[in-house]
Amino acid sequence: MKTLVLLRGLPGAGKSTLASMFNGAAHFEADMYFMIDGEYKFDGSKLPEAHQLCQLWTKNAMKDSTETIVVSNTLTQQWELDKYYELAKEHDYRVISLVVENRHGGKNIHNVPDEVLDKMEERFELKLK
């Protein structure tokens, strides 16, 4: 069965590392948008565009009937997941949503400030529809 795996969690939790363990899966994340010449160059003003592109990559992989697709983004709230669930329904994918916790002391490699991490943690919805 075609499967969409959504890896949710705060920066530094290990989402990208876990995604790399899905051998043969297509893997997408908004952070890929900010990779320029092998360097991560974040621009918060372009975050909506980065997420739209991640959704487009996912949709295109679904159109190609890619067996397993992994999306690793923070996905802190239901509305951030809704588009992926819509795509999965439209293309007949089952969805597995996993929360990746940072219990290993992982550091976010994108230098997200502590106050931003705290706000993300406060709005993180564990119970979703």
Q: pLDDT tens digits, residue range 44-69? A: 899 999 999 999 999 999 999 999 99
99-124 confidence digits (pLDDT tens): 998 766 666 666 677 787 778 888 88
Third-level CATH fold of 3-123: Rossmann fold (3.40.50)
Instruction: Please say whether the beta carbons of 71 and 25 come within 8 A.
Output: no
- pTM score, two decimals? 0.89
How far is CA 43 from its chain centroid? 17
Q: What is the residue extent of each domain of the chain? A: 3-123
What angle separates helix 78-90 from helix 47-63, to the nearest 10 degrees?
A: 20
What single-letter DSSP state applies at residue 97? E
**CA-angle at 35, arms to 71 and 25, nearest 5°:** 30
Instruction: Please give the pLDDT value at position 61.
Output: 98
The three-class DSSP label of residue 98 is: strand
Confidence of residue 17 (pLDDT cuts 50, 70, 90): very high
> What torsion do the CA atoms of 54, 55, 61, 64 make, to the nearest 10 degrees?
-150
Find tokens 């990208």 and name the residue: 16
Residue 100: predicted pLDDT = 95
Give CA torsion, residues 53, 56, 60, 61, to 10 deg.
Answer: 70
Which of 7, 9, 8, 11 shows the shortest CA–CA distance to 111? Answer: 11
d(CA 44, CA 42): 6
**Which residue in this structure is represented by tokens 């219990």?**
103
**Mean pLDDT of the residues in the chain:** 91
